[in-house]
Amino acid sequence: MSQSPFLALDGLVKHFGATKALDGADLVLEAGSVHALVGENGAGKSTLIKTLSGLYQPDAGAIRLDGQPISIDGPRSAEALGLRFIHQELNLVPHFDTVDNAWIGRRHPRRGPFIDGRAMRARVAEVAARIAPDLPLDKPAARLTPGQRQMAEIVRALMEPARLVVMDEPTSSLSEGEAERLHDIVRQLSAERCAVLFISHRLDEVVDLCDRYTVLRNGRTVGAGSVSDTSRAGLVAMMSGTEIAGTASGQPSLPLWERVGERGTASVSPDETIAAPAFPHPNPPHKGEGASGQNPVLAADLGFGPAGSHVSFAIRPGEIVGLYGLVGAGRSSLLKTIWGATPGRGLIALDGQVPGPGPAGRIARGMAYVPEDRRREGLANSLSIEQNLSLAHLSDFRALASIPAPSRAKIRAFAQATGARLRLVAAGPDRSPATLSGGNQQKLLFGRWLGRPIRVLLVDEPTRGVDVGAKGEIHGEMRRIAADGAAVLMATSDIEELLALSTRVLVLHAGRLVAELDGPSLTRAAVVAAAFGHAPDEQMPPSERSA
Amino acid sequence: MILLRRYGTLFALALIVLVFTIASPQAFGTMSNLINITQQMSLLAIVAIGATLVMVLGEFDLSVSAVVSFAGIAAAALFAAGVPVPVVMIAVLVAAVAMGAISGFLVARYRVPSFIATLAFGTVIGGLTFWISNGATMFSGIPAGFRDLGRGTLAGVPVPTLWLIGTAIVFWLLLDQTEFGRRLYAIGGNREAARLVGLPVRRDMVVAFALCAALAGLAGLLLTARLGSAHPTGGGGYLLQAYAAVFLGMTAFREGEPSVPGTLVGAAIIAVISNGLTILGVPSFLQDLLTGAIILAAVLVRNFGRDGD
Ligand SMILES: Nc1ncnc2c1ncn2[C@@H]1O[C@H](COP(=O)(O)OP(=O)(O)OP(=O)(O)O)[C@@H](O)[C@H]1O
Ligand SMILES: [Mg+2]
C-alpha cells in the first residue's frame, strides 16, 4: 500500500436535477483501515457510497482501485470487485430468514436445477460463526432486533471475501451493547485486512473506532487525515464549516432553506438550546394552567404489547421524561399504545381527561408523536415535503375556518418556517421526501408538530441519523416545548441524549418499569445497570457467548 | 391459537369437507366425487397459480380473465381456419406470453400501477377477442384430438387434473426451489433491497407477468377443449375466484406470503364449496352468497390477532 492506495475517489460530481449532491468529493482509503466518512445531513455521504456501489453513475470524477481507473456500472460489478455495502436504511426482506437474506443476489448453491437449502445454510452458518455466533439463522428478519438485523446485513456482506465493507450509519438505531458488538466486528474485519468505510453522526464513536477520516460538506471533501490528529470538536468545525462561514462554492446548488450563512454563526453544540427564531404559529401556543400547576399533564396506567407488561407513571408540565431500556424492552410499543395506535389495557389521562379513541382523539387534545421508523411509519413518499409537514394537523391550515380545504399558501408558509428552523436541506418544498437525505427525513418528521400547541410530546428516537447541529436544534425544540408547559416522553437508545435532556428517566425492562432515576441518582452507570441488571445474560461480551 | 392462525386455511378446508361429508355422505363424500372436484378446480387453480407469481411480487394482474377468453377464442378461430393442433397451441401460448410481457413491461419499466395497467390492457384484450369472434360463440372445426386434452381420463384420472398436477409441480419448484423464485419473493418483500443488491428487478417482473399470462392462456385452451366451443367472455368468472384462491392460500404455508401449495388449498376450498352446495341443491344465487361469505370469513380469521405486530 506504499505507492497507490487501495481505493481512491477523485473529484466525484453527481447532480440530481438542479441539486448538486456531490461536488468534488475525494476519498483515499488504505487497505485494512477503518475510515470514517462524516458530514452534516445532506452533505452527500450516502450519495458518495451509492456512487461507489454502482447505483449512481458519477457525472464527473474518477474511481481508482489499486491505482487502476475503474468504472462501476452496477451493484454486481461493485460486488465482483470485493466492495460490500450496508446502506443507510436496512435492506433485508422482512419475511426472509437470515439464510435467505444472505443469499439474495448471489448464485445459490444447487443440486441439479434446484437450490440446495442445506448448503446455503451451512455457508451462512460458517460466516455467522466467525462474526456473530448468536445470530438466529432461521428467524425472519422482521422478528430480529435492530442489532440482529445489522448483524444479518454484515453476514450477507461477508458471504464472499470482501476487500471493503461500507457501513452507512450502522449504529444509529443500536443500543450501547449492540453498538459495542458492531465495533468489535469492525475491528475484527480491519485485523483481517478488510477495510471499513464507516459513516456515523456519533462522533465519539468515530474518534474511538476509526483510524482515518474524511469530512464532506455540501458534496465536497473539506478535510481528511488521521483521527489521532484531530478531535471531536475539530471534526464538528470541519463539518459545519465554522471557520469558513459562507463558502459560496461549497453550497448545494439549491439551498432553498437557508443554510450556509446562518450556519456560520450558529452553535453546533448538541446540548445547547438555540434561541427560537420568530415563528408563525397557525394557532397561538397553548399557555395552559399547566405552566405552573402541579397536576400531571399525562398520567398513564396501562398494559401494552405482550401480556404481562404494565406501567404506571405521570408526567408533570415542563418535564422531559426519558424512557430507556434494552431492545425489546417495549419502549416503542408503550409509546404507540399511549398514542392510541395499538390497543392497550388500562387508562391514560391528558390533563385529567381521557382522550378520544385513536391518534385523532390524542391530536385533538394536543398530543404529538414522532415515530421511530421514518420510512415505514413516518413519511408518505407520494406527497410532497410540505404536504407531509402539514399532514398531521391539516385543519390548522384552512383558508376559511369553516371549510375543510387547506390553503396552499398557509402550508407553504409553514413549510418555509419549519424548514428554516430545522435547517432542512431539500431541493424544494414540493419534492418527495424520498429525495431527502436520511437525517433530513428525520427533521421533516419532527417538524410536523412544530408551530402547534402541544400538551404532550411522544418521541421515539428523535435524532436518529441526525447530525450534531440539527440534533442541537431538535433538542432545543423539545426543551422549548417542555418549557411551554408540555409533558415530553422521549424513548432513546442514545445515552448521551438521554442524560442531556431528561429531567427524569424511566427504565423499562421486559414491559415493566424497573427504575425511576432523577437528580443525583440519574447517572449513566445507574441507567445502564437498571436496564441490564435484571437480565445479566443479555449482556455477555461476545467472547463468552456460545454458537 | 398460533396453529389456527398459521394453518387456519387448511383447517377451514378440512372443516368444509367434513361438513359436506356429514350433510351428504352418499353423494359428496365419495371417491369419485372428490376426483370430480379436482377436475372442477383445475382451470381455476391453473389461473390462480399464475396469479400467485404476480402476487408474490406484490402486484396484481387483472387481465387474466381477458387472456383466458382470448386464448379460447383465438384457438377456436385458428381451428376454424384449419391450422393444426400443435401450431394452434404454440401460437396461442406465445400470444398470451406476449400480452403478459407487455403488462409486465408497463409495470416494471414505466411504474404504471399494475392495477391500472392490467385493467386497461385487459380491456384492450377483451376488445380484440370480440373483434376476432364478432361477439359470438365459436364452435366449428375444433378437432376431437384437441378436445381430448380437456376431457376424459387417463388411468382413471381426469385429464384436466393431470394438467393441474403438472402445472402445480412445475410452478411450485420454480417458486420454491429456484433462484428465480427467491428473487421474486425478494422483490415482493423489499423492492429497494432487491434493487440495491443488483437483482434484475425489471426483467424478473416481466417474466413473472408473462408466466402468469401463459397459464391463463393454457387455461383458455383447456376451457375450449373441454367445452368444444369458445365464448368471448368465457374466462370472465376466473378473475375474482383466482385472487380469492391466492388470498385464501396466503396463510396456508409460508408466513403470509402467496405460495403455490397455498393457492391450491385456496382453489380447493372454492371448488369444494361450489360442488358441495350444488350437491345439496342450493340455488345458485345462494351459492354465490355463501361462497363470498365463506371467503370473507376465512380472510377475517386470518387477520385476527395480527394487530399486535
Ligand atoms: N434521489 C435523489 N433525488 C434528488 N436529490 C437527492 C437524491 N438523493 C439525494 N439527494 C440530495 O442530495 C444531497 C445529499 O444527500 P445524501 O443522502 O448523500 O446526504 P447524507 O450525507 O447521506 O446525509 P444524512 O447524514 O442525512 O444521511 C441532499 O441534499 C439530498 O436532498
Ligand atoms: Mg445518508
How would DSSP label each residue in A306-318? Answer: STT-EEEEEE-TT
Q: Determine the Cα–Cα distance for residues A386 and A429; give it in Å rounded to an integer.
A: 5
Residue A207 sits in the same domain as residue A352: no
Residue A303 sits in the same domain as residue A232: no
How confident is the model over B118-156, as pLDDT tens digits? Answer: 999 999 999 999 999 998 999 888 999 999 999 888 888
Give the number of whichever ligand sits closest to the CA of residue A44: 1
Residue A112 sits in the same domain as residue A45: yes
Q: How far is CA B6 from CA B13, B55, B102, in A?
A: 14, 19, 36
The boundaries of the domain holding residue B237 are 2-303
B202 lies in a domain?
A: yes
Secondary structure (3-state) at A107: coil
Interface test with A, best of B1, B172, B182 (most A CBs within 10 A): B182
Comparing CB atoms, the residue among A105, A115, A140 nearest residue B197 is: A105
Q: How far is CA A283 from CA A287, A320, A386, A484, in A?
A: 12, 23, 18, 14
Q: Determine whether the interchain pair B189/A53 forms a contact, defined as Cβ–Cβ distance below 8 Å.
A: no
A270 lies in a domain?
A: no
Residues with CB under 5 A from ligand 2 (ion): A 46, 88, 437-438
Q: What is the CATH number of the domain that holds A385?
A: 3.40.50.300
Per-residue pLDDT of chain A (547 residues; tens, 9 = 90+): 456 788 999 999 999 888 889 999 999 999 989 999 999 888 999 999 999 999 999 999 999 999 899 999 988 899 899 999 998 777 899 889 999 999 998 888 988 888 999 999 999 999 999 888 889 999 999 888 878 888 899 999 989 889 999 999 888 877 777 888 899 999 999 999 999 999 998 888 899 999 999 999 989 999 999 999 988 888 888 888 775 433 333 333 333 343 333 333 333 333 333 333 333 333 333 434 334 446 888 998 888 877 778 889 999 999 999 999 876 678 888 898 998 888 888 888 988 888 888 888 888 888 999 888 777 777 777 788 888 888 877 777 887 777 777 788 888 888 888 888 888 888 788 888 888 887 888 888 888 888 778 899 999 988 888 888 888 888 988 998 999 889 999 998 888 889 999 999 999 887 888 888 988 888 888 888 888 754 433 343 444 334 3
Residue A390 sits in the same domain as residue A522: yes
Closest CA to A87 of A252, A246, A199: A199
Closest CA to A336 of A377, A393, A375: A377
Residue A97 sits in the same domain as residue A181: yes
For chain A, the domain total comes to: 2
What local confidence, expressed as pLDDT, does residue B2 receive?
A: 57
A438 lies in a domain?
A: yes
Give the closest residue (by CA) to ligand 1 atom 19.
Answer: A42
For ligand 2, the distance from its centroid to the CA atom of residue B103, given in whole angstroms, is 35
Give the closest residue (by CA) to ligand 1 atom 2.
Answer: A435
Comparing CB atoms, the residue among A91, A94, A305 nearest residue B196 is: A91
Q: Determine the Cα–Cα distance for residues B53 and B211; give it in Å rounded to an integer.
A: 8
A68 lies in a domain?
A: yes
Residue A216 sits in the same domain as residue A303: no
Q: Determine the Cα–Cα distance for residues B39 and B96; give it in Å rounded to an integer.
A: 23
Give the closest residue (by CA) to ligand 1 atom 16.
Answer: A44
Q: Determine the Cα–Cα distance for residues B186 and A92; give it in Å rounded to an integer.
A: 9
Q: Determine the Cα–Cα distance for residues A302 and A17; give it in Å rounded to an integer.
A: 50
Q: Determine whether the interchain pair A104/B196 forms a contact, defined as Cβ–Cβ distance below 8 Å.
A: no
Per-residue pLDDT of chain B (309 residues; tens, 9 = 90+): 556 666 767 888 888 899 999 988 888 888 889 899 999 999 999 999 999 999 999 999 999 999 999 999 999 999 999 999 999 999 999 999 999 999 999 999 998 999 999 999 999 999 999 999 998 999 888 999 999 999 888 888 999 999 999 999 999 999 988 889 989 999 998 888 888 888 899 999 999 999 999 999 999 999 999 999 999 999 988 998 999 999 888 877 656 789 999 999 999 999 999 999 999 888 888 888 888 887 787 777 666 644 433
Cell numbers standing for residue A334: 408503550
Cell numbers standing for residue A438: 436520511
Q: Determine the Cα–Cα distance for residues A430 and A417; give it in Å rounded to an integer.
A: 15
Mutate to test the pocket of ligand 1, among A437, A443, A446 (most ligand atoms within 8 A of CB): A437
A265 lies in a domain?
A: no
B308 lies in a domain?
A: no
Give the number of whichever ligand sits closest to the CA of residue A19: 1
| Pocket flag, ligand 1, residue A206 (CB < 6 Å) | no
The boundaries of the domain holding residue A336 are 298-544
Cell numbers standing for residue B254: 409460508
Q: Determine the Cα–Cα distance for residues A223 and A241; give it in Å rounded to an integer.
A: 10
Contact A382, A432 (CB under 8 A): yes
**Is A286 buried (19+), middle (13-18) or exposed (0-12) by CB count in 10 A?**
middle
Give how far B299 is from chain A: nearest CA, Å: 20
Q: Determine the Cα–Cα distance for residues B69 and B47; give it in Å rounded to an integer.
A: 12
Closest CA to B16 of B263, B258, B271, B241: B271
A404 lies in a domain?
A: yes
Residue A233 sits in the same domain as residue A112: yes
Residue A209 sits in the same domain as residue A319: no
Closest CA to A91 of A54, A52, A141: A141
Q: Determine the Cα–Cα distance for residues A405 and A489; give it in Å rounded to an integer.
A: 33
For chain B, the domain total comes to: 1
Q: Determine the Cα–Cα distance for residues A497 and B286; give it in Å rounded to an integer.
A: 63
Residue A221 sits in the same domain as residue A361: no
Interface test with B, best of A86, A104, A143 (most B CBs within 10 A): A104
Residue A236 sits in the same domain as residue A302: no
A291 lies in a domain?
A: no
A88 lies in a domain?
A: yes
Residues of B in contact with A75 (CB under 8 A): 196-198
**Within 13 Å, how many C-alpha atoms sit on residue B277's CB side?**
17
Final residue in a domain of this structure, among A205, A240, A275:
A240
Q: Which one-letter DSSP state was computed for residue A171?
A: T
Residues of A in contact with B308 (CB under 8 A): 305, 342
A247 lies in a domain?
A: no
Contact A338, A508 (CB under 8 A): no
Give the closest residue (by CA) to ligand 1 atom 28.
Answer: A42
Contact A11, A146 (CB under 8 A): no
ipTM of the complex: 0.81
Ligand 1 nearest-atom number relative to CA A437: 17
Q: Determine the Cα–Cα distance for residues B302 and B5; give it in Å rounded to an integer.
A: 6
Q: Determine the Cα–Cα distance for residues A253 and A236; give it in Å rounded to an integer.
A: 23
Rounded-to-5 percentages of helix, strand, coil across chain A: 35, 20, 40
CB atoms within 10 A of CB A523: 12
B210 lies in a domain?
A: yes
B184 lies in a domain?
A: yes
Residue A305 sits in the same domain as residue A231: no
Q: Determine the Cα–Cα distance for residues B249 and B264; give it in Å rounded to an integer.
A: 7
Q: Determine the Cα–Cα distance for residues A481 and A485; give it in Å rounded to an integer.
A: 7
Q: Determine the Cα–Cα distance for residues B204 and B209; give it in Å rounded to an integer.
A: 9
- Strands of the sheet containing A83-86, edge to edge, are A83-86, A164-168, A195-199, A34-39, A212-217, A220-226
Q: What is the CATH number of the domain that holds B167?
A: 1.10.3470
For ligand 2, the distance from its centroid to the CA atom of residue A45, given in whole angstroms, is 6
Contact A484, A285 (CB under 8 A): yes
Decide the pairing of beta strands A212-217 and A195-199. Answer: unpaired
Give the closest residue (by CA) to ligand 1 atom 12.
Answer: A21
Residue A183 sits in the same domain as residue A302: no
